[in-house]
Chains A and B, each alone.
Chain A
Amino acid sequence: MQRELAVEAVGLVKTFGDNRAVDGVDLAVPTGAVYGVLGPNGAGKTTTISMLATLLRPDAGSARVFGHDVAREPQIVRQLIGVTGQYASVDETLSATENLVIFGRLLGLTSRDAKRKAGELLESFGLTEAARRPLKNFSGGMRRRLDLAASLIAQPPLIFLDEPTTGLDPRTRAQMWDTIRQLVATGSTVLLTTQYLDEADQLADRIAVIDRGRVVAEGTADELKSSVGDSSLELRLADPADLDDARVAIERVLGVSSSISPEHVRVTAPMQDADRVTDLLLTLRQEGIRVDELSVRKPSLDEVFLAITGHGVPDAAPAEGSAELEGSRA
């Protein structure tokens, strides 16, 4: 069944100087879903959202929000969206209540309604106690929550969340996830960007993987994962000369093609069934290939990338991103 699309983008392009930040992005976000845009830093996620949210003008292509063109009817689009940016877009010098009241007034609420709405939102986001303090003393998680609260004043049917949990601790992240799930339960459509595969996995009904300004894969989390395997095998060999033999063995036993790490010491391969690693080890022993180190774990964003794009997460990815990849090696 074809549902109404909340966002429909065709061939979006944005260039900054000679950098094609967004290079022909197509998106079709169904109404009522959480749609994840997954990609490393610098992939063009924020630029794409900025264009969809009327903050940037596309250089080419077009986008519609609930059927309204973002370039021709920006004022209508703005009435349909809420935007929560990567960096909290609230007034640092003001208190949480003052911020929300001002946004509410700007959105046409009366002074009384704006105060009531601010009170409600602060309560539901657990910020009531801090409501009167200036934001300077807010933690990162509190700022994000306030920022999200500010996006919900007008109860927009479409909410853009640009990396809503980047830099948050695991507990605050889980809270943010709950919040996002509740949003969808009330009928909102959510388009979120993330660098984290597990976040997209937890929240998104559909995921678009974006790299170097292009959508390189699109589908449900399961579809994407099956392209990289349910888990990932990593081998370090005692003798690097055996690398090619090991790859042949992997191909034969697991039926997948493997890749070699840049420093030519490790082999990684996607696996559907972690149990089959036993077969592989037996084969390696028979062929006399000695293994230094072996691990089987959930695929990381790095591997999704490797599998889909043929290259790893670009070096531009920040320390934060790689820390997360480490963290997911459970």
Chain B
Amino acid sequence: MSTALITPATERIVPGAERKLSNRVSLGQTLANTRTMAYRGLVKIRRTPEQLIDVTVQPIIFTLMFAYIFGGAIAGDVQSYLPALIPGILVQTVVTTSVVTGTQLREDMDKGVFDRFRSLPIARIAPLSGALLADTLRYTIATTLTFAMGWIMGYHPAGGLGAVVLAGLLVIACSWAISWIFAFFGVIARTASSVQGISMLVLFPLTFLSNAYVPVDSLPGPLAWFASINPISHLVTAVRDLANDGTIGGDLWMSLVGAVVIVAVFAPLTVRAYMRKA
């Protein structure tokens, strides 16, 4: 293989002293860098589609399994369980998906390419913000598939399409907020598997000790108390209200406030920890 000329003679390198440079990154550049990093996340998904197994297979399998296992016991039959189950599955699946933000961030930061990002004149925050942005696609896929699976099984939300879309957006927004928590773990943890471990430890009790699969009043005292204050329960109820009745209740506002609080707490924490390493 022959090595050709690298740069045509006309493209002479501008000497360092003759360049006009700024030590600041503008907001416009930050947004552009974020978009490019998000684009990178999407290209990576296209290259390794198996990354999407959790957001594609999980909604389908879980919906099928839970509907046919618990349907009869909890609601008498599968059809009458679906309006309660689908919002529950939806919230659990999408929230669980947000863990990936943390594990992938950790993996990325351990790789050589991260050193290159750090040596480029780009916004320091871009690899983090880009990852967070790209992950909203994963939430959208999981949301769409869960509703689609429910539809096939005979769940026809009474709230109508508009309300269902709104419910989907609510879940995506809240999961995005929650992904900041896992992004934080991703930044401070040493390995990707420890991020996965910690996150699951938090998520399992949070998603199962809620009203996602069973009515709260069927739980013993302390569990019922926890399930009723669990933010996941409020999100599930908000989705049920929207999708099944087309109503916006207090639970929706509480979910949104919760999401804002999480972002307000974890975004600065994550960014600070991240900037120290970036």
Contacts and interface: CB of A to CB of B under 8 A. Distances in A.
Interface of A: 4, 6, 31, 53-55, 65-68, 72-76, 78-83, 85, 87-95, 98, 102-103, 105-108, 123-126, 134, 150, 152, 154-158, 175, 178-179, 182-183, 186-188
Contact of B48 (A31, A66, A93): A93
Nearest to A68: B21
Nearest to A176: B3
A88 B14 CA distance: 26
Contact of A75 (B5, B39, B114, B121): B121
Q: Which 3 A-B pairs have the closest CB atoms?
A: A66-B16, A89-B112, A89-B116
Given A126-B3, A126-B4, A186-B7, A74 B23 contact: yes
Contacts, number: 141
B40 interface: yes
A157 B19 CA distance: 10
Given A134-B47, A186-B13, A103 B23 contact: no
B190 interface: no
A256 B269 CA distance: 63
Interface residues on B, range: 35 or more
Contact of B39 (A95, A102, A107, A152): A102
Contact of A93 (B11, B14, B47, B118): B47
A134 B46 CA distance: 12
Contact of B33 (A67, A74, A106): A106
27 contacts: A4-B16, A68-B21, A75-B24, A76-B21, A79-B19, A79-B21, A79-B121, A82-B119, A83-B116, A85-B112, A87-B112, A88-B112, A89-B113, A89-B114, A93-B47, A94-B43, A106-B126, A107-B121, A107-B122, A108-B29, A124-B7, A126-B1, A134-B47, A175-B3, A182-B3, A182-B5, A186-B7
Contacts of B33: 106
A65 to B, nearest CB: 7
A105 B120 CA distance: 11
Contact of A90 (B4, B23, B32, B112): B112
Given A79-B121, A93-B44, A186 B12 contact: yes
A75 B124 CA distance: 10
A31 B126 contact: no
A121 B4 CA distance: 10
B2 interface: yes
A89 B43 contact: no
A75 B115 CA distance: 15
A34 to B, nearest CB: 14
